[in-house]
């Protein structure tokens, strides 16, 4: 029962909280952040935390206090980042569809950069900046056409995806850039996808970035920073044995293959790899129901609390925290929502499970709590923090 041992949270403590609830291990988060920062600093790399992964205040505060910058994808995330204490010059604002109001928030606060995804977006930012009497710093999000070899819903760097500016648009863009008087092009931005566990896509990204970086310098355009995005995956299958991703290996690939010019800063936008394993979803078994092949363990948490399995066929490690049985059995672990996709895993081996047992769904710190919904008018319960 690693949860009980690691947290020293006794069963009496566990049952005080109304289920389902998100539980964050702040010590593991702190260790993960320190490790990421240490390996990035070795190469003078800057990490923006991709806030979309988890916007819980306590988590954001810890990340901010450790010197990370932030990567936002909405006006509200920019506001939240400022509230938490991130400095405007630490904020990158990305997104394929920024509204005028959201652009205004970025302009008023003179953020570090807008990561721009189309020519039309740059034109609009230029116009709005002119109205405000500001110069907007922008980075071009370029579509590198590199396959991240991950789930298709979280692949972003292929020409068929909606993201980024494709290479065939660059000549046209560069011709216009001189006429946009309220824009300062400072960076190139890339992001190929998420939950990437092989280093090959990152190596391929570096090779493509080197080509594009050269393309700009050959045209006399000075680029001050390269932003390589996020995407480093976590070990969903063995989170207890392997709670912290291999940041040394990850940054090492960029050190080896990326060729920044001497004046260029290198930035990253990591989300999942920083927060993914520090969170878990704790739920209670409502009923055990006999199925044809396996039994169903019906939990009080569903796709409304954690949508990743339903949306991306994601598989999270699942554990019975309180069963004292020595026997184990196979269960389809499902939620209470009226959708067949409301299933956390099929044929999951658990200690013999009965009504009232506590179940831990591991590695839900990223894209868990932030993606909850009120479908079926579901309630949201308070979050629990451990190892503070
Ligand atoms: N930068 C950009 C431009 C992004 O679009 C993303 C994630 C990140 C950085 C952070 O990526 P990470 O380091 O977390 O892989 N909801 C999905 C993941 C969506 C990722 C969206 N973009 C999931 O639960 O798997």
Answer yes or no: do 133 and 186 share one domain.
Answer: yes
> Helix count (H) and strand count (E) of the chain?
12, 16
- Which among 152, 198, 269, 275 is the best mutation to test ligand 1's pocket, defined by most ligand atoms within 8 Å of the CB? 269
Distance 169 CA to ligand 1 centre (A): 25
Answer yes or no: do 266 and 326 share one domain.
Answer: no
Q: Per-residue pLDDT averaged across 57-71, rounded? A: 98
Distance 230 CA to ligand 1 centre (A): 7
Q: List the residue whose alpha carbon is closest to atom 5 of ligand 1.
A: 191
Whether the predicted pLDDT of 151 surpasses 80: no
Answer yes or no: do 97 and 200 share one domain.
Answer: yes
DSSP structure string for 120-163: HHHHHHHHHHHHHT--EEEEEEB-------S-GGGB--STTSS-
Q: What's the distance, CA 80 to chain centroid?
A: 16
Answer yes or no: do 13 and 46 share one domain.
Answer: no
Using alpha carbons, select from 23, 34, 52, 87 the residue that is nearest to residue 231: 52
Answer yes or no: do 232 and 301 share one domain.
Answer: no
Whether the predicted pLDDT of 154 surpasses 70: no
Q: Give pLDDT tens digits for 338-363.
A: 999 999 999 999 999 999 999 999 99
Answer yes or no: do 250 and 333 share one domain.
Answer: no
Distance 25 CA to ligand 1 centre (A): 21
The Cα–Cα gap between 68 and 60 comes to: 10
Q: Per-residue pLDDT averaged across 275-298, rounded? A: 94
The answer to whether 205 and 213 have CB atoms below 8 angstroms apart is no
pTM (2 decimals)? 0.96
- CATH code for the domain in which residue 62 is found: 3.20.20.10
Q: Give pLDDT tens digits for 156-202.
A: 666 777 788 988 899 999 999 999 999 999 999 999 999 999 999 99
Domain boundary among 252, 273, 294: 273
Answer yes or no: do 319 and 349 share one domain.
Answer: yes
Q: What's the distance, CA 223 to chain centroid?
A: 26
Query: How many structural domains are present in the chain?
Result: 2
For the record, the structure tokens of 147 come out as 């396959």
User: What pairs with residue 69 in β-bridges?
Assistant: 48
Domain boundary among 238, 258, 273: 273
Domain boundary among 246, 273, 300: 273
Answer yes or no: do 286 and 208 share one domain.
Answer: no
Domain region containing 53: 26-273
251 CB less than 6 Å from ligand 1?
A: no
54 CB less than 6 Å from ligand 1?
A: no
């Amino acid at each position: 029962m690693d949860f009980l041992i690691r947290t020293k949270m006794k069963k009496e403590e566990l049952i005080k909280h109304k289920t389902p609830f998100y539980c964050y291990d702040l010590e593991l988060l702190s260790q993960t952040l320190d490790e990421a920062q240490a390996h990035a600093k070795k190469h003078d790399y800057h990490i923006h935390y991709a806030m979309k992964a988890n916007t819980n205040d306590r988590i954001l505060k810890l990340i901010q206090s450790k010197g990370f910058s932030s990567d936002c994808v909405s006006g509200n995330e920019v506001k939240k980042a400022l509230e938490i204490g991130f400095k405007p010059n630490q904020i990158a604002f990305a997104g394929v569809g920024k509204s005028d109001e959201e652009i205004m928030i970025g302009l008023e606060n003179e953020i570090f950069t807008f990561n721009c995804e189309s020519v039309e977006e740059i034109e609009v930012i230029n116009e709005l900046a002119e109205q405000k009497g500001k110069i907007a710093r922008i980075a071009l999000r370029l579509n590198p056409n590199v396959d991240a070899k991950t789930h298709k819903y979280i692949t972003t760097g292929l020409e068929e995806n909606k993201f980024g500016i494709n290479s065939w648009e660059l000549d046209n863009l560069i011709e216009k850039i001189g006429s946009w008087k309220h824009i300062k092009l400072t960076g190139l931005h890339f992001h190929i996808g998420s939950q990437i566990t092989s280093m090959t896509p990152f190596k391929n990204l570096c090779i493509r970035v080197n080509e594009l970086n050269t393309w700009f310098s050959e045209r006399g355009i000075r680029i001050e920073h390269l932003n390589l995005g996020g995407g480093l995956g976590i070990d969903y299958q063995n989170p207890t044995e392997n709670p912290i991703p291999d940041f040394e290996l990850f940054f090492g690939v960029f050190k080896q293959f990326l060729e920044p010019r001497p004046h260029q800063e290198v930035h990253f936008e990591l989300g999942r790899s920083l927060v993914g394993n520090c969170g878990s979803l704790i739920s209670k078994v409502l009923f055990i129901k006999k199925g044809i092949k396996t039994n169903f363990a019906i939990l009080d948490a569903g796709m409304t609390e954690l949508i990743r399995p339903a949306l991306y066929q994601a598989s999270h490690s699942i554990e019975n925290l309180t069963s004292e049985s020595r026997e184990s059995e196979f269960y389809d672990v499902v939620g209470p929502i009226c959708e067949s996709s409301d299933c956390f895993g099929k044929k999951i081996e658990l200690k013999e499970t009965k009504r009232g047992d506590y179940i831990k769904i591991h590695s839900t710190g990223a894209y868990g709590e932030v993606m909850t919904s009120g479908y079926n008018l579901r309630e949201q319960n308070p979050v629990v923090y451990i190892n503070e």
